[in-house]
Structure 1
Amino acid sequence: MGIVVPSWAIWIFGTYVFPEPTQVRLVNGSSRCSGRIEVHHNQRWGTVCDDGWDLADAEVVCRQLGCGTAVSAPGKARFGQGHGPVWLDEVNCMGTEGAITECSLKRWGDHNCKHDEDASVVCSGMCPPFSTGELRLVNGPNRCAGRVEVLHEEQWGTVCDNDWGMEHAKVVCQQLGCGTPIYAPGWARFGRGYDPIWLEKVTCSGMESALSECRVQSWGQHSCHHGEDASVVCTDPMAVQLVNGPSRCAGRVEVLEQRQWGTVCDDNWDMRDANVVCWQLGCGVAVAAPGSAHFGRGSGPIWLSEVNCTGTEDSLSKCRARPKGVTGCHHGEDASVVLWVLTVQELNGLVRLVNGSNHCSGRVEVLHNQRWGSVCDDGWDLNDAEVVCRQLGCGTAIWASSAARFGQGYEPIWLDDVNCTGSEAALSECRARPWGLSKCNHGEDAGVVSIEGKDLL
């Protein structure tokens, strides 16, 4: 297979030199996937002028950041005016480039703009990492696409893209239950990792059931940098979008199947289903789950009916439903969602219960620094469980489980020595050790069963 050389590679003394791709970030938005676009040049962050700025340009930024697809490309400093240099003007992307610097553009710093013309981007967002315990994909638009990370010595790290190909992607997709591989990109297509680079020159036949069964060099020995992090894109799950609403976080639910967008029937559609859509789009929490084509009738196929989510899934494709395309519905029954976009400060301290029989029973997880993590069972009792149940609107607590009764978590252990009086409105109001400081392991993860989740007992 031939090598595709990026346009930013430089030919020096008979060989290609690959400089570090230009860093890009979005600032002043509700998440890292929306905001004013800034690029790093000459050791300074600067803005991009909105002259000619459109969705094709925004699509490249979203791809470079691993933030899904572009929703809008606002100009006129929609997310506030920058203060540094205006680095780029008249950016002209096809929409297929891997980085904004691969697009046609004027020379760095050459512009006739002011900061009230700063360009912005709103992307569809990303999902939380999907993990099997030793392998996960991160920063992708869904659980089956993203940067490959492996767990070694209790620390997540990346895989170098040297010799990385479709055989490796086939193993990763199979291990994660994600269908067949579509693409095995390198060059940090879904963003650069920050932790160790654990593997280089992995050798897979494609028949292995797990990446750990492939031949590898010694863990941690490599000649790579994070600009060479390997990624994978698999066929599953379906993408989700909200259309015809006042913002990207409200509208008619549409899912992508067989390369065609279609709607979801409102049979059994409720807030638990809406919350899964909310999480998949990175939109905060669900406010309403209207049916009856509240945001207008769709025109494509009706892909899903009788969706039945517990509310803890990370994508709509993981919820129970009738077979795709098998419905007795018409477009007057199209399902919709209204989501409440939260700031990072508001997101911190959110609580959920996972691995239980419903959203009112399971392992306690809290959101902090945009990552879900568990709670240690040291001192965990009914007073603490009562606060969780109140916060989730689940009635009275009837059990405060310990010793990972609902399975072990994979992410950080955020809270330890929680000590609630039982009258607090949220778990974050209770006394506890500082966030992330614990002396526990995931075999001590705390759980809760409320009166509305008692069918587990």
Structure 2
Amino acid sequence: AGTEIPEPGPIRLVGGPNRCAGRVEVLHEEQWGSVCHDDWDLNDAQVVCKQLGCGDAVLAPIGAKFGRGFETIWLDDVNCTGVEAALSECPARPWGDHNCYHGEDASAICADSGITISTSVRLVGGPSRCSGRVEVLHNGVWGTVCDDQWDLREAKVVCRQLGCGTALSALPESKYGEGKGPIWLSDVNCKGTEASLTECEVKPWGDNICNHVEDASVECSEVDIPEEGPIRLVDGPNKCAGRVEVLHDNRWGSVCDDHWDLKDAKVVCKQVGCGSPLSALGGARYGRGSDIIWLDDVDCNGTEESIFDCKARPWGEHNCYHGEDADVVCAGN
């Protein structure tokens, strides 16, 4: 005994549409935990996808794209070459050693998930690969799309083609700058269900009377920022200060300021991705909530990953009114 080759450590993808896309979780000491996205890239995702028998990696999303984990963060600074048989073989920090929070959980999208990324369309000039001016590849040359008849149905197809979630907006008039090169497509008319723009009704390649001022753009939902977790700060000067509200039973509610202090604020600030706390305020400093009061007598020790891990009264049980709503101000903005 003792000479057997260890099995590759168990690994899974959670929060995605199927077992081949989602947040990466690894099992260590009989506990599942997530992986921090520092240095996370396609080589790391490739190892995960192969390990799960899910084909090649398509994307390596960062920023808790498939929701935030709840347990330990097991791995950080993972640096695979892409040929390892298991994630546990890749160089990384020691188990549990990290400088991350769950808003930085790494994910993998594998080919067998059914999510594919088109190489013939791209978004340029925007803040991320999922927003910008639409460009399509034809005969080896990238060109733009004219905004005639451009609307959310076409944007929806582009977002799907890029594995970028749903379309938030279809923007005309070179919102993300004027392209160079040819204007390839015009009068694109999609139903919104097509797999690619070229399946939509459209004029022949290059046949149009447009100029680059009319270049079409789209903004898709799947940008590299942490999804809104079940907690938020509202009515403050920025997203890192305000009245604390938590989501329970699909309903947002406030937190009573009884026993509210800097340790509670520390957990909230970390959970919303806003760094360290500057102050823990009471007395509805940022206005009164209008719905239910969900939490009271919250007592965090300051090290919890989430306010839901702190001691408190049962959901909805309190002796407060909205004039006692709790607020925080965090260092981030």
TM-score range (shorter-chain normalised) is 0.3 to 0.5
TM-score, normalization by structure 2: 0.41
Which of the pair has the greater relative contact order for Cα pairs under 8 Å at 6+ separation?
A: 2
TM-score after normalising by structure 1: 0.31
